[in-house]
Structure 1
């Protein structure tokens, strides 16, 4: 019987196994059209293939360029479309194709596809009617090339400078799923608070954003409040609070102030709020304050102070808010999964140019998002909290499926 031949280039049939459903071909085509990266002539490695390839780099961050491509070419032998003269493109050809693709389509795909995945019944996803979200940042080592140093910089200076340049990533995650749904990349000299200002568009009414004290500023707090989402942010001892009145659950209403106000001005504003008067929004804001300690985790009895836009204690009692705040640690767990489990502990993003570093970073985020979405779906079906499902096991499952589909050698 003659061998059936699949139409089109072999690489047109590249797939990512269970990940292909999350980033389907129609979505890739929309992204390609929107970013204008469609190739002018027929190429062996067209844009839609390279987008999938960049995501696969996130799954196989420690593999060579050719090996990642080899693992992608799936099911050709069983489909009767094997061609003996097809060979895996060289590392140079793959690098050139990545350069043609650029950063924009991979970033656009993340922004289009990375949305909260927890459903109404997902365990641990909600505080009452509010979806729990968190924000945090970290940095990734990148290849030590002059171009990467110029764009991203090193931590420290002189003999204390970091061995590698670092790209700074600040991200918003959905706490229950640990799915990253918004991110900003930049030089390591750019602080988390500065990058966070570009993430307000991720937040929507019905969300509760948790943040550590490093993110607090009067201006940034107001910017996130303007999104309609609620906030629960820890603040440091240096932040001035003006007591307005105590509440029934042990929390209290207070004012936070624009920097630079004199002590007398702050006192008068607090008195105005206590008397039921209005205070200028650009000068002070009324918040609810929850103070608590966690003795079994902090033997020194350090006081944790969280301010929130949820001012009604009957809506969310202080104890519930304090408990929910510690879901912020899910952000650190998510970032650690990307750094240690996907990229590999202590590994360096090997892309040699800044644009390819950013492209690879978006691919890592997309790979992590797809696995996390898969785990949430599985947890919901089983009635589990997603925390009970191991990310590493999910990653191995995805890698195994891709490998099973792509056990092909040129």
Structure 2
């Protein structure tokens, strides 16, 4: 792969570096540059015209987590830990990743990672400040809890989260669209009920099913977001599940294990994966806009294969020779 990427750069006796040289260079680089690059360049990509990326005035985003297997070295095992079940410990240590992404474009614009022994909801605390006004954040029933709800909405974002069936949600006021207003409290405040968070509750079942879905939202006015529309909208949360499949199965390869043998290397590698995924999703978004279709209609695997085929065409390109005063076509 390095030989393919560097084709055309063989000048002045320069040779393709060996695997060991690349590994040493990665160690010298460390994880911070790629982390900084991710935080600087990975942003939401949907425009006002992007189909499927919006609900009324809100940009639709979702939060969810996954785990990636890493090489079974003593450093990785000690730092990340591994899954344990009734059948024993897993074969590989795992790094846990929590992502915040646009539902319409699958573009990850914020992420937190840590040991497998740290829960998704604990890692999500690093992402609350990325939830800004104008977004509607979808999350599954593992996330709702009073302190997380309050922290997630503190920046001005609106929330639509599923809650567990045993959650205590007293009816304060029935609304015309079938939803109702309720309150949630901190565990220590259930007796006094002095510092509540006001929520709106939507309950529904799917056609032909018996399971009752319960959602809570910060959007208290049903005229702004009717209950039926929010019930349909919540299932956009599954877009982030498709995103994780793109990242883990198609981009990395089904059943693959990351290559890095140290925790710093793993952090560096995961940010590299996220950067590549974001670039691919930007390409897909551009293709969707040029055809005026929903980005969901653009195949991720075809985008990935097209990008791979173009790698030889970029051989010999060096940003050092790019004229900074040239037009956008040089980017």
Does 2:245 match 1:336? yes
Task: Show the counterpart of 2:259.
Answer: 350
Alignment of 1:95-110 (within 5 A): 95-110=23-38
1:325 is paired with a residue whose SS is helix
Task: Show the counterpart of 1:295.
Answer: 207
Task: Show the counterpart of 2:56.
Answer: 128
**Separation in 2, partners of 1:221, 1:335:** 24
* TM score, norm. by length of structure 1: 0.75
Does 2:184 match 1:256? yes
Alignment of 1:258-407 (within 5 A): 258-262=186-190, 265=191, 269=193, 280=194, 283-295=195-207, 299=209, 301-406=210-315
Once the two structures are TM-superposed, the CA of residue 83 in structure 1 deviates from its matched residue by 3.5
**Separation in 2, partners of 1:350, 1:110:** 20
1:313 is paired with a residue whose SS is coil
**Which has the larger Rg?**
1
Once the two structures are TM-superposed, the CA of residue 234 in structure 1 deviates from its matched residue by 0.3
Once the two structures are TM-superposed, the CA of residue 406 in structure 1 deviates from its matched residue by 3.6
**Separation in 1, partners of 2:141, 2:85:** 26
- The equivalent position to 2:139 in structure 1, one of 198, 204, 211, is 211
- The equivalent position to 1:181 in structure 2, one of 109, 121, 125, is 109
Does 2:70 match 1:70? no
Alignment of 1:110-121 (within 5 A): 110-121=38-49
1:31-66 CA deviation, whole Å, 9 max, x = no partner? Answer: xxxxxxxxxxxxxxxxxxxxxxxxxxxxxxxxxxxx
Higher relative contact order (CA 8 A, sep 6+): 1
Once the two structures are TM-superposed, the CA of residue 257 in structure 1 deviates from its matched residue by 1.6
1:241, 1:257 within 8 Å by CA — same for their partners in 2? no
2:98, 2:123 within 8 Å by CA — same for their partners in 1? yes
2:63, 2:240 within 8 Å by CA — same for their partners in 1? yes
Once the two structures are TM-superposed, the CA of residue 158 in structure 1 deviates from its matched residue by 8.3
Task: Show the counterpart of 2:149.
Answer: 221
Task: Show the counterpart of 1:58.
Answer: none
Q: How many residues align?
A: 316
- The equivalent position to 1:199 in structure 2, one of 111, 117, 127, is 127
1:73, 1:405 within 8 Å by CA — same for their partners in 2? no
**Separation in 2, partners of 1:206, 1:185:** 25
1:215 is paired with a residue whose SS is coil
Structure 1 unaligned segments of length 5 or more: list them. 1-66, 270-279
Task: Show the counterpart of 2:323.
Answer: none
**Separation in 2, partners of 1:73, 1:239:** 57
**Separation in 2, partners of 1:107, 1:294:** 41
**Separation in 2, partners of 1:71, 1:207:** 41
1:209-232 CA deviation, whole Å, 9 max, x = no partner? Answer: 000000111100000110100000
* TM score, norm. by length of structure 2: 0.92
Task: Show the counterpart of 1:13.
Answer: none
